[in-house]
Structure formats: C-alpha cells, structure tokens
Amino acid sequence: MTSETAVSELKSKTERCFQSVKNAAKNVFKKIQKENELNSLNEKALMSPIPITSTSVYIDSKDVKRIAQKQIEATKQEEERIKKDLSVLETIISEMEKIHVATIADEENERAKKVKEHSEIERIIKEKIERTEEKLQNLNRKYLSLNENSKKAQKLQKSMEKYQNSIYELIKSLKETDEKHEKDIADFMRHIEKRKRTDNKTLQKYLKKKRTVELYLQERILVRKALEQKLAKDIASGLIYVSDEEATSATDFKNLQAFERRELRKASVFQIMQMSAVKELKSEAEITDYDGFVITNEKLGETFFGSVYKARQTLYGKEGSEFAVKIVDIARIDPLYANHLVNTGFKILRFVNKSPFKSLVEVHDIVEIANEQKVYIIEELFTKDLQTIIQTEGLFNEISVRPVVAALAEAINYLHVHGIAHQNINPRNVYRSINSTIKLSCLEFATICWDAAADQPILKQCSATRKETRFKAPEVCQGVIYNAMKADVYSFGELICYMLLMKCPFEIEEKDFEQRFSEVVISDAGRDFIHKCLEVEPNKRIHMHNAVSHEWLIS
C-alpha cells in the first residue's frame, strides 16, 4: 500500500467516524430545542398572572392542589427528559473528544511510519552509493598501476565511468526521495492542522449547545420550584372564591392576609436563595450573541462599584431599544460589598428579573464575564431620577405627590411581601421611566429580611454609628439592632417630606417643620400617613402592607 493510499484511507475513516457522531449530537440538540420551544410557551403561561372571568363559584382547595400537582409532575417529567437528552449529548460529545484524541494518535503513528519508511529507503540508497564508491576506488587503484594506453586500462576506464554515472544517479535519486518525503510530510501536516481546526470548531459548537441545554434544564427547575411554592401558598389559603368580576391570580399584594404574607415570604426567600445569581459568559461579545445587547461607549454615569453605559438591542423586532448597563468590577470593590452582591444582591435582581413588578426597575439580565470578574446588570433606561426632577421641575404638592407615593408604596410593599428590604430608599434611587412611570431602582444592595425557617424577620445591625443620616431610620443611624422593613418605611417617610419640602425632617427645627409641613399637606389623611411613616419608635411605625391601603392613597 502506498503512503498516499494510507493517508487517503485514514482521512476518509476519520471523517466518516467524526461526522456520524456529529450528526447524532446535532439530532439530539434539535430534539431538545424543539421541545424547549413548546415548553417555553407553557412556562410563560404558567408564570404569568392569568385573568379569570367566571360566574361566582367556590373552588375546592383539593382541586387546586390536584391541578397544581399535575403541573408540577409534568414539569418534573420535562426535567427528566431534558436530563436524559443532556446525558446522551454529553456521551456523544465525550465520544467526539475521544475520536479527536484517537485520530491525533493515529496521525502521529502514520507520520512516524512515513519517517521510518523514508529512513529505510534513504539507508538503502546510501549503502548502494557507498558500495559503488568502494568499487570505483578499487578500480581506480588498479587503473593507476597500468599503462593508460593499454587495452586493460582503457577497459577499466570505461567501467569507472559506468560506476561514476551510477553514483550520480543514486545521489540524484536520494535527493528526489528527500524532496518527495518533505512534500508528503508537509501535505500530511497541513491535512492534520485543517482537520484539527474543523474538529475543534465542531466540538466548541456542540459544547456551546450543551451549555444551552443546561440553561433549558435550569429554567425548568426554576419553573417547577415556583409551582411548588405556589402550591404551598394555595394549600394554606383554603377555599378560593372567584367573583363575577375579573380577578387576577397573583397581582394584588395589598389585601393579603397575615398568613398569606408569611407563606409568600417563606416561599419567595426559599426561591431567591436557590436561584443562580448570574449567567456566566466568556466575553462581552457573547452578551450580544446570547441576548442581542450591544454595549455602546456612551457613559451614563458612575457608581461607587463601577460605570453605567447605554446599550442597544439588536434582536429582530426589538432593534434600537435602549437599556442601561451597570458594570460591576467585583475585584475592585470592598470585599464586604462584593460578598453581599454575590450571595444576595444579584440573586434578588434575578428574582425581580423572573418576577417583575410595575413600580420596580425592569432587570433584563445579570451576566458575569468569568475571566474578568465583572458583572453586567442590564436594566431599563431611565430619563431622570427624583433628585433631578425636583431640581428641574420644582417641588411636589399634596395632589401631585400622591400618585408617586402610591407607586413607591406598592413597590416597597411588593419587596417586603417577598421577604426583601430595599435599605437604600432616597431620591437618587427613584426614577421616571421613558413612559413616565415612577420606579424604585438600585436593588443590588437590597437584602433578605425574612428568616424562612424561623418564620420571622431577620434583624440587622450596622457595625458603627452612621455619619450619613439622610433617608436613614434613627435606629439604623444609632447602630442598634433593627427591623429592615420598618427602617424602609421611615426612609420612605423622609423621601415624601423631601419631595414636598426638599428637606428631611431632622434638617428643620421641629416647630418650623410642623408649620411648613401643614402648609403643604392640607388633608388630615395625608398628615396622618406621613406621621405614621416617620414614627421614631419602630414598633409604632406603620407596616408597609397597611400603608398601601391607607385612606390617603386609596381615597
């Protein structure tokens, strides 16, 4: 068998083997992708609030439980199916890697074989040259001992010329053999490099697809856990009454009973702590590849943990939509803050991303560039913060402030109902969106404030007395143990005063404050609401779930 035939057969065998495994991986991925497209529709339907219109009817909680359990079981089956398909895909990718490694070994053996064959041919030719040269030397010695004009000398001369020609032809053959060998090896190595590039590209492609399938599986697990938590809430709620009017499944957080708030807090805290905080990518370019976001060079601002840039969406149908991207440099910020962000802050952002609320900032994604230790928080783009609105448009009055207060109260209540305290309510963290909606932002430094196991608030304490007292509750500034939800209420009360007076209560003498406050807030209900928020004693301070139903906001 010639070397060309051996190379051709090796190449053909490698390509057939690798192609068959590649096709198997491709078929598995297509199957998973198709199933996920269908399941995503189910997920959206299950997770979205569903308006229900019907005649008045009582629904047995057993029926609710049975339906929810059926949904959970179906989701578990989806999980198992994806796990099996993922296992098959992993086996196939592993086989592709083995074939790749084995092919490299075969190619190295083939190269060594070629070198050995050439060495043998080269040895044989060199030996022939040596033997011919030896014969030529012997003839030359005899020739020198004879009379050059003798017939014998002339005959020897002809023989010597014949040997010289033979040596010339052997040397020529050796050179041609070397040149052909070098060309064969160069062609062979080019084939190997091309094959390696193609195989590596294919492997990377399917490793990326495997990662996509793993994300599918993570989403299924989150959906199933959300359904399980909803079932726990439904079981606790007993009989469910659906009126003649339209009702929504889970959008009204104003009228929850105490036990409903407890169950929802426990379920939400459990869900948050189980969530994967960030989506890991290799480079900033992959943010565009995966989600279609292109980060521009237009800087929107600076925070103490990094910079904020404008981004644009490039996906079909969303082209030109603008967003804000906060870039958090984990390696450069205080380890205490970094630890909070990784363990809690990013998870809360992910929860808001999965369970958005009308008066909270829309979080579109949280992405970590692993090798850079940077996290990209992609949020909706705002026009102005509350501080800028007050400075450019003037102070609020009682009528204009009330819808803003109502929107923020609902946002804070939504967080508290889900076991989250904001901890940083101030004018710089309240924004007006492009469609003029007031929203509470900067959730990355919010905290979990409910102990799901003990079913009670998690009490906090600042390490030292705070120098900065604006928009902070007295107990926070004093460095004593405090309830973070009650502290949020006080900060909220200070924010309302700031919107009306551009001053916090402690910045004005008490008599002057009361006089100016009474001039701005005319109604008894308004004064009662703000005074209850600003109650110095935390235990006497109004709860947020009572604040959202206060007569000042609903009248």
pLDDT at 514 over 70: yes
Q: What is the DSSP letter of 543?
A: P
Query: For 46-64, how does the pLDDT look when each residue is reduced to its tens digit (9 = 90+)?
Result: 343 333 333 233 334 455 5
What is the pLDDT at residue 377? 95
Q: What does DSSP say about strands 374-380 and 363-369: parallel, antiparallel, or unpaired?
A: antiparallel
Burial of residue 399 (number of CB atoms within 10 Å: 0-12, 13-18, 19+): exposed
Confidence of residue 36 (pLDDT cuts 50, 70, 90): low
Assigned domain for 39 exists: yes
pLDDT at 146 over 90: no
Q: Strand, helix or coil at 281?
A: strand
118-135 average pLDDT score: 91
Distance CA 321, CA 328 (A): 22
Range picked from 67-81, 258-272, 275-289, 390-404 for highest mean pLDDT: 390-404
Q: What does DSSP say about strands 322-329 and 306-313: parallel, antiparallel, or unpaired?
A: antiparallel
What is the pLDDT at residue 30? 59
Q: Is the pTM of this model over 0.85?
A: no
Per DSSP, the residues of 290-334 read HH-EEEEEEEEEEETTEEEEEEEE-STT-TT-EEEEEEEEGGGS-
Assigned domain for 148 exists: yes
Assigned domain for 422 exists: yes
459-482 average pLDDT score: 81
Distance CA 187, CA 483 (A): 75
Confidence of residue 139 (pLDDT cuts 50, 70, 90): confident
Domain boundary residue, one of 380, 397, 417:
380
Distance CA 486, CA 322 (A): 36
Q: What is the DSSP letter of 442?
A: -
Q: Strand, helix or coil at 113?
A: helix
Lowest mean pLDDT among 20-29, 69-78, 422-431: 20-29
CB 472 within 8 A of CB 390: no
168-187 average pLDDT score: 91
Domain at 544, CATH number: 1.10.510.10
Residues 282 and 409 in one domain: no
Confidence of residue 23 (pLDDT cuts 50, 70, 90): low
411-416 average pLDDT score: 96
Query: For 320-374, how does the pLDDT look when each residue is reduced to its tens digit (9 = 90+)?
Result: 789 999 999 988 888 989 999 999 999 999 999 888 888 999 999 999 987 888 9
Assigned domain for 109 exists: yes
Domain boundary residue, one of 327, 360, 380:
380
Distance CA 239, CA 234 (A): 9
More confident residue, 23 or 116: 116
Count of beta carbons in the 10 Å neighbourhood of residue 103: 21
Residues 321 and 397 in one domain: no
Confidence of residue 67 (pLDDT cuts 50, 70, 90): low
Domain at 206, CATH number: 1.10.287
Assigned domain for 267 exists: no
What is the pLDDT at residue 235? 59
Average pLDDT, the chain: 81
Domain boundary residue, one of 337, 353, 380:
380
Residues 376 and 406 in one domain: no
Assigned domain for 268 exists: no
pLDDT at 295 over 50: yes
pLDDT at 206 over 70: yes
Domain at 344, CATH number: 3.30.200.20
Lowest mean pLDDT among 12-16, 183-187, 397-401, 478-482: 12-16
Assigned domain for 261 exists: no
Domain with 17, as residue range(s), is: 3-45+70-239
Which tokens in the block code for residue 7? 């190379």
What is the pLDDT at residue 392? 94
Residues 201 and 284 in one domain: no
Residues 451 and 546 in one domain: yes
- Half-sphere exposure of 277 toward its Cβ, with a 13 Å CA cutoff? 15
Residues 303 and 173 in one domain: no
Lowest mean pLDDT among 12-16, 439-443, 534-538, 543-547: 12-16
Residues 376 and 388 in one domain: no
Residues 367 and 392 in one domain: no
Assigned domain for 340 exists: yes
393-419 average pLDDT score: 95
What is the pLDDT at residue 211? 84
More confident residue, 27 or 145: 145
Residues 404 and 356 in one domain: no
Residues 310 and 178 in one domain: no
Query: For 242-271, how does the pLDDT look when each residue is reduced to its tens digit (9 = 90+)?
Result: 233 323 333 457 777 777 788 888 888 988
- Residue bearing tokens 């973070």: 484
How many domains would you assign to the chain? Answer: 3
Count of beta carbons in the 10 Å neighbourhood of residue 110: 18
Distance CA 7, CA 111 (A): 10
User: What whole-number percentage of the chain has pLDDT above 90?
Assistant: 37
Which tokens in the block code for residue 73? 């079981």
What is the pLDDT at residue 18? 58
What is the pLDDT at residue 24? 59
Residues 79 and 213 in one domain: yes
More confident residue, 197 or 259: 197
262-282 average pLDDT score: 85
SS (H, E, C) 124-141: HHHHHHHHHHHHHHHHHH
Confidence of residue 149 (pLDDT cuts 50, 70, 90): confident
Residues 329 and 369 in one domain: yes
